[in-house]
Chains A and B, each alone.
Chain A
Amino acid sequence: MQGIIPDVKVIKLAEVPAEKAIAEAIKVLTEGGLIIFPTETVYGAGVDATQTAAVAKLLAYKTRREGKPLSIAVTGQEMAAKYVDLNEQAKKLYQRFLPGPVTVVSQGKGKVAAGVQSEFGTLGVRVPDYELALKLIEQYGRPLTATSANASGRKRPYSINDILTGISAKQKSLIDLVLDAGELPKNEPSTVIDTTLSTPTTLRAGSVQLSAGEEATTTLNSASEAETKKIAGTLLLKNWTEIKERGLVIGLDGALGTGKTIFAKGVAEFLQITDEITSPTYSYIEEYQFKRHGVTGQLYHLDLWKIESAAEAERLEIEGLLRPNSVVIIEWWQPVAAYLLKLVATQHPQLLHVLFTELDEHSRQLSITEPSTNIPTPAP
């Protein structure tokens, strides 16, 4: 009916028993409707996250989302696991922070309606620390979308009035039910933590498998940064002919803060590079010129901490760096070792691998191997 704006149906939670409010909300959600519900942060706009038409309705309500993914509200880790893959980091976050104002982003399982997961297939999950919301989701049995109830770009909704004054008549008409808990305390919106880029802190014990063959490992202990640098220099000296003829690749592994960059500094000192060797974590590759004993060449210092797969590593064009008179140091070698070994096998530089283990606050153990690049070919 033209010109008539339907009144939004509001249930005042202070006046109605929770069970009755929940029953009403479930009725609306089942039919693909949109509810406004309170959480410990702000009012949320909720629809059944598994119903395509309901999600489309929510997206129409939110406007100007520009492809931003939605997140879902569930009752806990067990329910979350049905919709996302939880890695170790995510599980720790659930245990420590949920229910609470934290949204944990994980890889989605494609079990929600289109438009809820991001286009990379990730999905944010929240467990509201608010009894009514938790009871509602528990009884409904399916996740709700958990986006704030304001139209995009408008004021944070701490009261129903904050919401209704900021939206158009058309948006208002999309709301099927409001669960009004009055003025909410002014808590910040939830903190979003993305666990999908699995940057490592350490290698799992026993996970270092460099190649198919057994090779000799030299184990050296270093009591100081100076000693680590000296070991690096000694290794380069031993391989000086190989550097000139084929180039040298040194793979480095070890937990955060065990001295991989110190080793790289030792290599640079040996090569008489005067530039400061700084961490290449963000730029992936730092490049330096060296000149030593009449040999001119390049030192490439790589850090693959942010790299997750061979496909990503490929974009760094590492193969172009493997050549005579070139020294390539690669930190966080192990996660993409198979790919790197293939490069080494085709370009034939000399290859060394150093694993750093902490002995105490200052001393480290360096396990040095010369991995074989004979990758077993898979059986036909």
Chain B
Amino acid sequence: MTTNSTSTPLILAIDTSCDDTSAAVTAGVTVLSNIIASQTQLHQPYGGVFPTVAKQAHRENIDRTIAVALQRAGLEWSEVAALAVTQGPGLAPALEVGINKAKELAKLHQLPLIAVNHIEAHALSALAEPRRRQQQTATTPHHLATSWQQKLTQQQLPALAIVVSGGHTEFIKVIKPGKYERLGWTIDDAAGEALDKVGRMLDLGYPAGPVLEKFAKSGDAHRFNVPLPMTEQKDYQMSFSGLKTWARNTLESHEAKFGLNQQDIYDFAASFQRGVFRHICYKLNKLIADQKPTDQFREVWLGGGVAANMELRRMIRETLRTANGGLKLHVPYTKRLTMDNAAMIGVTAGYQFLQKDFVTDEAALERRPRWAVTA
């Protein structure tokens, strides 16, 4: 069945920005499938090579990932209205694999191509919706989708998007989709990186962030006095490398004096995690307090890998409750959308489709490893 003017266009999206290969099918803000290539999903032997670094693994995975995404969505190529691909930011050789594949498929199937910013996609990921159950009457999947026009009648703008991941920590004002203002970001490490690295100092493997979250539940978050960085600066910039250095010094001296037992590790995990999130919430609070009442954010959207952390959500909600008479926090409906995934790329591309924001010269489309979200 071909897409007609009354239905929401179906988009096949690809993301190869870093370690994971992902493909998805979306319609408006509705996710029809979202495949992230990992050993459990594709069951592909890598010949003993751990797929940490991406390019070769992306090449091995990409066709299969796309095929599974279409299959899970129950679609044929003839029903797809456009292709979307992450152009940046990300690792250059990895981005290249996705871009080349998207170009190839756009040409093969004669489809328009949409280039998407990965961070913008994280910022909008809280708006994505799950596929609704098929109705009794026979309809095609795109009739069950929520279009961007519908979605935007439900959201109140401007919104503040907070992206917290292993590689990014940013405050982005969303005036409307496609129109952004970057208000604050980390000047060194990202929050997720600080959690992983300090987890590593506690010998909690890699990635240690999720282990830290679990262990924090058994710990006393007030046992260790984690400093609050950047309080002198009046802006909304964040910095996590000082926290990392503090953690190393504190752990070394604690271990030398008393050793490091199970409860110490639980307490340190809880204290450090709280310290990282407190820094984000301190700047968030300041940011909201400084807005002119006429420009005030109407809602807050959270995205990125660390958005899956329940303690971060709780602390942000706490901050929003007391700030400016209460703002609602929207989070991605599934953990999958917090990872590097193609569904958020497809959802973002859905809006660009409406704006006819297509790549005009496909051959000339190049990766943009450093591409900040801008207006």
Interface residues of A (CB under 8 A from B): 66-68, 88-89, 92-93, 96-97, 100, 104-105, 118-121, 188, 191-197, 199, 201, 255-258, 261-262, 265, 275-279, 281-288, 306-308, 311-313, 315-317, 361
Q: How far is the CA of A31 from the CA of B347 in the complex (A)?
A: 54
- B192 to chain A: which residues have CB within 8 Å? 282
Out of A197, A199, A279, A284, which one reaches B91, CB within 8 Å?
A284
Q: How far is the CA of A187 from the CA of B280 in the complex (A)?
A: 31
Instruction: State whether the Cβ of B214 lies closer than 8 Å to any Cβ in chain A.
Output: yes
Tell me, rounded to whole Å, the shortest Cβ–Cβ distance linking B91 to chain A: 5
Known pairs A93-B205, A275-B370; list 18 more (Cβ under 8 Å): A67-B39, A67-B40, A120-B39, A120-B46, A191-B211, A194-B205, A255-B248, A256-B244, A257-B197, A257-B245, A265-B188, A278-B186, A282-B165, A282-B190, A283-B91, A308-B50, A313-B53, A316-B93
Assuming the contacts A261-B189, A284-B91, asked whether A197 and B40 have C-beta atoms less than 8 A apart, the reply is no
Instruction: State whether the Cβ of B177 lies closer than 8 Å to any Cβ in chain A.
Output: no
Q: How far is the CA of A68 from the CA of B43 in the complex (A)?
A: 9
- B215 to chain A: which residues have CB within 8 Å? 191
Sample 13 A-B pairs with CB under 8 A, ordered by A number.
Answer: A93-B204, A96-B261, A118-B39, A191-B211, A194-B205, A256-B200, A257-B244, A257-B248, A281-B189, A283-B90, A283-B91, A285-B91, A315-B53
Out of B189, B203, B211, which one reaches A279, CB within 8 Å?
B189
- A275 to chain B: which residues have CB within 8 Å? 370
Assuming the contacts A67-B39, A119-B46, A285-B369, asked whether A279 and B241 have C-beta atoms less than 8 A apart, the reply is yes
Assess the A256–B187 pair: CB atoms within 8 A: no
Chain A's closest residue to B17 (CB) is: A283
From A104, A311, A316, residue with most partner B Cβ within 10 Å: A316
Q: Specify the main secondary structure of chain A where it touches its partner.
A: loop
- A191 to chain B: which residues have CB within 8 Å? 211, 214-215
Out of B40, B190, B262, which one reaches A97, CB within 8 Å?
B262
- B167 to chain A: which residues have CB within 8 Å? 281-283
Assess the A193–B40 pair: CB atoms within 8 A: no
- A89 to chain B: which residues have CB within 8 Å? 203, 205
Q: How far is the CA of A257 from the CA of B193 in the complex (A)?
A: 12
Assess the B187–A276 pair: CB atoms within 8 A: yes
Tell me, rounded to whole Å, the shortest Cβ–Cβ distance linking B341 to chain A: 15
Q: How far is the CA of A276 from the CA of B187 in the complex (A)?
A: 6
Bitwise, B337-365 to A at CB < 8 A (1) or not (0) is 00000000000000000000000000000
- B142 to chain A: which residues have CB within 8 Å? none
Instruction: State whether the Cβ of B18 lies closer than 8 Å to any Cβ in chain A.
Output: yes
Interface residues of B (CB under 8 A from A): 18, 39-41, 43, 45-46, 48-50, 52-56, 89-93, 165-167, 185-190, 192-193, 197, 200-201, 203-208, 211, 214-215, 241, 244-245, 247-249, 260-262, 265, 369-370
Assess the B204–A121 pair: CB atoms within 8 A: no
Assuming the contacts A67-B40, A283-B167, asked whether A93 and B244 have C-beta atoms less than 8 A apart, the reply is no
Assess the B247–A257 pair: CB atoms within 8 A: yes
Chain A's closest residue to B189 (CB) is: A279
Tell me, rounded to whole Å, the shortest Cβ–Cβ distance linking A115 to chain B: 12
Out of B53, B89, B265, B369, which one reaches A312, CB within 8 Å?
B53
Out of A88, A120, A197, which one reaches B206, CB within 8 Å?
A197
Tell me, rounded to whole Å, the shortest Cβ–Cβ distance linking A37 to chain B: 24
From B41, B55, B189, B203, residue with most partner A Cβ within 10 Å: B203
- A201 to chain B: which residues have CB within 8 Å? 200-201
Chain B's closest residue to A279 (CB) is: B189
Assess the B189–A66 pair: CB atoms within 8 A: no
Q: How far is the CA of A361 from the CA of B245 in the complex (A)?
A: 9
Chain B's closest residue to A192 (CB) is: B211
Assuming the contacts A283-B90, A306-B52, asked whether A256 and B190 have C-beta atoms less than 8 A apart, the reply is no
- B93 to chain A: which residues have CB within 8 Å? 315-317
Tell me, rounded to whole Å, the shortest Cβ–Cβ distance linking A128 to chain B: 16
Assuming the contacts A96-B261, A191-B215, asked whether A279 and B204 have C-beta atoms less than 8 A apart, the reply is no
Assess the A315–B39 pair: CB atoms within 8 A: no
Out of B186, B208, B247, B370, which one reaches A288, CB within 8 Å?
B370
Chain A's closest residue to B187 (CB) is: A276
Assess the A361–B46 pair: CB atoms within 8 A: no
Q: How far is the CA of A147 from the CA of B76 in the complex (A)?
A: 38
Tell me, rounded to whole Å, the shortest Cβ–Cβ distance linking A317 to chain B: 5
Q: How far is the CA of A188 from the CA of B167 in the complex (A)?
A: 30
- A278 to chain B: which residues have CB within 8 Å? 185-190
Out of B43, B204, B206, B244, which one reaches A66, CB within 8 Å?
B43
Q: How far is the CA of A261 from the CA of B239 in the complex (A)?
A: 12
Assess the B197–A256 pair: CB atoms within 8 A: yes
Assess the B52–A312 pair: CB atoms within 8 A: yes
Q: How far is the CA of A277 from the CA of B239 in the complex (A)?
A: 12
- A93 to chain B: which residues have CB within 8 Å? 203-205
